[in-house]
Every structure is written in structure tokens, then in C-alpha cells.
């Protein structure tokens, strides 16, 4: 199978002009088939605030009422997405911006109300890997916004990490997939106070031991759990790294 | 050649939920290949105003400074476009939202500054008809926002009527194209005070005579000139009609 690299970048990187340009330069250098999944939360919060809409977050997730849905649809699907697409076109990468509604690539269910009503938030139900693979094989580079749809005419706000992992899993049937999660550190650290203490490779046994030892803790645990789920679902490797180093040779490799 | 219908609708129709639903129902009924081009100016003006940005119009065209460009990128490329795409998906139409940057379908040049500096406004340079035709023949329905790009990383605000006519011309090499312009009247009227005085068909000779006679005047003259240009460039027919009647059987047919 051909190799495909799926890079997920958070809002901070794609929202600042200088870091966006650097990211696009680096992304353009990646050889072979590729996909970019982006966030945009900071811009959404800023523009919501300018429009007099207060951003309510619970456990790091945005409560998405009807007005907030309009903001994220504008910001993720419009502003952030089209800046990336035009920036990639300028680098001769034939990008296409997609939400889950476009070509019906990602269907989701509105999250059921339990303790918290997240509003117009979608949990991914199905990624149309075949459709995406067809596009990708015709040398188009999907740039995916963190928005999906319910098939009934509603756009739903959807976590970008989830879109990245579910898309990577769906594409694993067609490609040899490397999933790269960018975050603010150089990788999984063995010493949180030392940015250079990157663990270069980790398997499930090592992960369990490091959690037991308290070396890996907090938000890194679900991140790594997700990475192992992606591996179980056929993704070849997951890399957790800084957005400065998306060449596949840096960060922490999970296999 | 297969038949293709390209419908252009203005902002008013797509921005009001009830008229949008009706339009999408009608558009879904159109048989054969199709494309939708939309505006969104009213929403852009409203959201710009909420963000404290004044909308400056000259000859009906928006002066697009850097802040206004962000607004139209959000509103046209995000809010309006994704509402249409998700609404079409709910009607089993496999739509994809596109700006000119997406798949590089429309390249434009930033309008040169003469008497007026329109800012980040693009004049269409090239429509990639082959790429669009390929998509369309795989049963995808492009939903085109009035935004293009310059190939150097900049999104440019672009007149939706122009996008419609230039796209229709480019697709005429691949399809037998009907271009439908929706506006607030039922068609070209022989008596401006009588909404039912629709001229059902008009050719260039009749047009010249009606202009001489003062029957056709004002903004309708450039609209019809554009229609005849499209015909000259290979478009099979142009229809000017109300958004209520996009079935190809109503309004004024230009051949």
C-alpha cells in the first residue's frame, strides 16, 4: 500500500500567520499522500467574544449553542480552512477544504444530553474512507475542518483529535497510514521539566509501566490511549510531536 | 453532451431559513448534472457590522479591506456555504462546498487600483473546467462560494454573477449548459410595473430593439449583456427568473 501522512494541528499554530507559514512549508515537504486536520478554537473564542457570545467550555470541550455553531462554522469552515487551502495552493499542493458535510465524508450523531448538554456537538459515526481515498489518489490533499454533519441538514462541532484518529482509521484500509499529532511539546517526555527528555518510541507494555511509575500522567494518558486505539484499528504508526517537526523523524513514535 | 444546470442565487434567498429550504428542495429536483453558485452579501454586511466593521459599497461592489476579507471568507466560505452543503446532503445530493482556492478551481487577479481601490477583490482569470467536470461526472454537486484565490496564498472576494458566468463558460466544453440567474422578479419584464409581463424568450436583435425602445433599462442591460456573452462563449441557454422557479420552464430565456 502507498504511504499516507495525516497531520493534526491545533488552533494556535494555524491562527498565527508566522507559525502557519512555517507549518505549511513543512507540510508541503512531506512526500507521498497526505491529509491535514486543523483546529481553530482560539479564533472561534475571539470572534465569538467580538460578537458578544460568551464561550463556555466543559472539560476542554466547547458548549455549542445555535449562535456558537454559527461562529465555529464560519471560523473553522471558512476563515481558518480557506487560509490553509490558499496557502497550500501557493505551494503547489492541490488542497481542498472539507467539513464532514462536503461529499458526505464524515457523518456524526448529535451528542446525547447526559449530565451536560454540549449542544450542536457531533460524535463521529462514519468516515467515508472510500470517497476520501479516491480524492487523495487523484492527488488532492484534503484539509479537514473540525465540523461534521448529521445527514439531516445540521452541521455539528466535532473534536479535531477525533476527526484525525477516525479519519486515519478509515484510511488505513487504503493506505499505510502515519498519524501525526502536533502539540506544544517535542513529544512524550520522561521528565516533564525537561523538554529534551523525549521518549522516542513507546509500545503498550512500556506505556502501562510508565503510567504505573507516574512518568506519564494527566492529559497525556487519554492522548496515548487514543493513539493505541488507532494502532489497533490498523493505523501503522502514531507520532506525537511538536508542530515544528512534522517530518516523521521526531517526537514519540507509538507502534 | 450531457446536460448541466448551473443556478446562481443571491444572498437574500440563501440567508433566510424558509427561502433557503424551498430553494434547496427545488434545486434537489433538478435532473442531471448541476452546480449551485451563491452570494451572501447581506449576512456579510450584518456580521461585519456586529464586529464593528463598516461595509463600504461602490457601484454595488464591496470594498474589501483586510478585515472585511476575513468576514467574507468566514461568511461566504463557512456559514452560508456549509449550510447549503449540509442542506443538500439531507436531500441526498452529494454536494461539496468550493471556493476558487479549493482544488484550484478558480484563479483570479487582484483588481488593479484605478479610480477606486476595491481592496482584496478578484477578477476571474481562469476557471479549471476540466477539474470541475471530473468532479461533476463522479456525481458530486459543486456549491460555489463567491471567493477565489490568486495562487499566491490570498483569498479574493469575487462577484457571484461573474463566478456563475465564467464557470458556465468553462463547463460548456464538457456539458450542454443552462445557466439560471435568480433575481427578485419573475424574469425580464416588458412592463416594469407588471410582474406578470415576463418576456419568455429574447434574442440579441430583440434585446437591441427593446433597449432602443426603453423597455429594457437600468441594471437589466448589463445582466443581459453578460447573458449574451455567455451564449457567445458556448453556453446553450441563459434563463433569468425568480428563485421560486428554477425548473428551467419559467422566466426569460436568452438564446
Q: What pLDDT shows up at residue B223?
A: 85
Q: What pLDDT shows up at residue A11?
A: 73
B89 vs A contacts (CB less than 8 Å): 101, 104, 149, 151, 153
Q: What pLDDT shows up at residue A232?
A: 96
- Under 8 Å between Cβ of A81 and B77: yes
Of A119, A89, A240, the residue nearest A178 (C-alpha): A240
Mean pLDDT of chain A: 95
Give the strands of the sheet with A155-157, arranged side by side.
Answer: A122-127, A106-110, A147-149, A155-157
Residue A237, domain member (yes or no): no
Residue B206, domain member (yes or no): no
Q: What pLDDT shows up at residue A166?
A: 97
Residue A169, domain member (yes or no): yes
Q: What pLDDT shows up at residue A54?
A: 92
Cβ–Cβ below 8 Å for A74 and B76: no
Closest-CA residue of B relative to A86 is: B153
Tell me the percentage of chain A whose pLDDT exceeds 90: 86
Is residue A110 over pLDDT 80?
Answer: yes
**Phi, psi at B127, each rounded to 5°:** -105, 130
- Under 8 Å between Cβ of B43 and B216: no
The predicted model gives A31-51 an average pLDDT of 95
Q: What pLDDT shows up at residue A22?
A: 95
Residue A13: in which H helix or E strand, if any? helix A11-15
Q: What pLDDT shows up at residue B10?
A: 86
DSSP secondary structure string for all residues of A164-199: HHHHHHHHTTTSEEEEEEEESSSS-BSSTT-TT-B-
Q: Among A54-63, A208-217, A231-240, B80-89, which is the least confidently predicted range?
A: A54-63
Is residue A255 over pLDDT 90?
Answer: no
Beta bridge partner(s), residue A143: A36, A97
Of A34, A103, A158, the residue nearest B94 (C-alpha): A103
Residue B76, domain member (yes or no): yes
Report the number of distinct structural domains present in chain A: 1
**For residues A156 and A108, what is the distance between their CA atoms, to the nearest angstrom?**
8
Q: What pLDDT shows up at residue A250?
A: 94
Q: Helices B160-171 and B220-232 sit at what angle, rounded to 10 degrees?
A: 20
Question: Number of helices (H) and strands (E), helices first, in chain B?
Answer: 9, 14
Q: Which domain holds residue B115?
A: 3-183
- Candidates A53, A68, A85: best to mutate against B (most CBs of B within 10 A) is A85
Q: What pLDDT shows up at residue A219?
A: 81
B134 vs A contacts (CB less than 8 Å): 138
Closest CB from A70, A103, A153 relative to B140: A103
Q: What pLDDT shows up at residue A16?
A: 87
pLDDT single digits (tens) A153-207: 999 999 999 999 999 999 999 999 999 999 888 999 998 889 999 999 999 999 9
Residue A217, domain member (yes or no): no
B interface toward A at CB cutoff 8 Å? 47, 50-52, 70, 73-79, 81-83, 85-87, 89-90, 94-99, 101-104, 134, 138, 140, 147, 149, 151-155
Residue A232, domain member (yes or no): no
Largest distance between two CA atoms of chain B: 50
**For residues B20 and B7, what is the distance between their CA atoms, to the nearest angstrom?**
14
Residue B155, domain member (yes or no): yes
Distances (CA, A) of A229 to A8, A190, B72, B253: 16, 22, 40, 58
Cβ–Cβ below 8 Å for A82 and B104: no
Residue A172, domain member (yes or no): yes
Q: What pLDDT shows up at residue B184?
A: 85
CATH number at residue B131: 3.40.1160.10
- Candidates B36, B51, B74: best to mutate against A (most CBs of A within 10 A) is B74
The pTM for the full model equals 0.96
Beta bridge partner(s), residue B96: B142
Beta bridge partner(s), residue A38: A9
Weakly modelled stretches of chain B, pLDDT under 70: none
Q: Is the dihedral of CA A150, A229, A20, B106 positive or negative?
A: negative
Is residue A120 over pLDDT 90?
Answer: yes
| Number of Cβ within a 10 Å radius of residue A245 | 16
Amino acid at each position: 500500500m502507498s504511504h499516507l501522512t495525516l497531520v493534526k494541528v491545533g488552533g494556535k499554530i494555524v491562527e498565527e500567520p508566522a507559525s502557519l507559514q512555517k507549518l505549511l512549508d513543512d507540510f508541503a515537504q512531506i512526500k507521498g499522500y497526505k491529509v491535514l486536520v486543523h483546529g481553530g478554537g482560539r479564533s472561534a473564542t475571539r470572534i465569538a467574544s467580538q460578537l458578544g457570545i460568551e464561550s463556555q467550555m466543559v472539560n476542554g470541550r466547547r458548549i455549542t449553542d445555535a449562535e456558537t455553531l454559527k461562529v465555529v462554522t464560519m471560523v473553522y469552515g471558512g476563515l481558518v480552512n480557506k487560509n490553509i487551502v490558499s496557502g497550500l495552493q501557493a505551494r503547489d499542493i492541490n488542497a481542498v477544504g472539507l467539513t464532514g458535510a462536503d461529499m458526505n465524508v464524515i457523518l456524526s450523531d448529535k451528542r446525547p444530553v447526559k449530565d451536560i448538554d454540549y449542544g450542536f456537538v457531533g460524535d463521529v459515526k462514519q468516515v467515508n474512507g472510500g470517497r476520501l481515498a479516491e480524492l487523495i489518489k487523484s492527488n488532492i490533499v484534503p484539509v479537514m475542518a473540525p465540523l461534521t454533519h448529521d445527514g439531516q441538514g445540521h452541521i455539528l462541532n466535532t473534536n479535531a483529535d477525533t476527526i484525525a484518529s477516525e479519519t486515519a482509521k478509515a484510511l488505513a484500509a487504503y493506505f499505510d497510514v502515519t498519524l501525526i499529532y502536533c502539540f506544544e511539546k517535542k513529544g512524550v517526555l520522561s521528565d516533564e521539566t525537561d523538554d529534551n527528555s523525549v521518549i522516542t518510541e513507546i509500545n503498550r507494555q512500556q506505556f502501562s509501566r510508565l503510567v504505573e511509575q507516574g512518568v506519564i500522567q494527566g492529559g497525556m494518558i487519554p492522548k496515548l490511549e487514543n493513539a493505541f486505539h488507532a494502532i489497533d484499528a490498523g493505523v501503522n504508526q502514531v507520532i506525537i510531536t511538536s508542530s515544528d517537526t512534522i517530518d516523521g523523524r521526531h517526537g514519540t513514535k507509538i507502534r
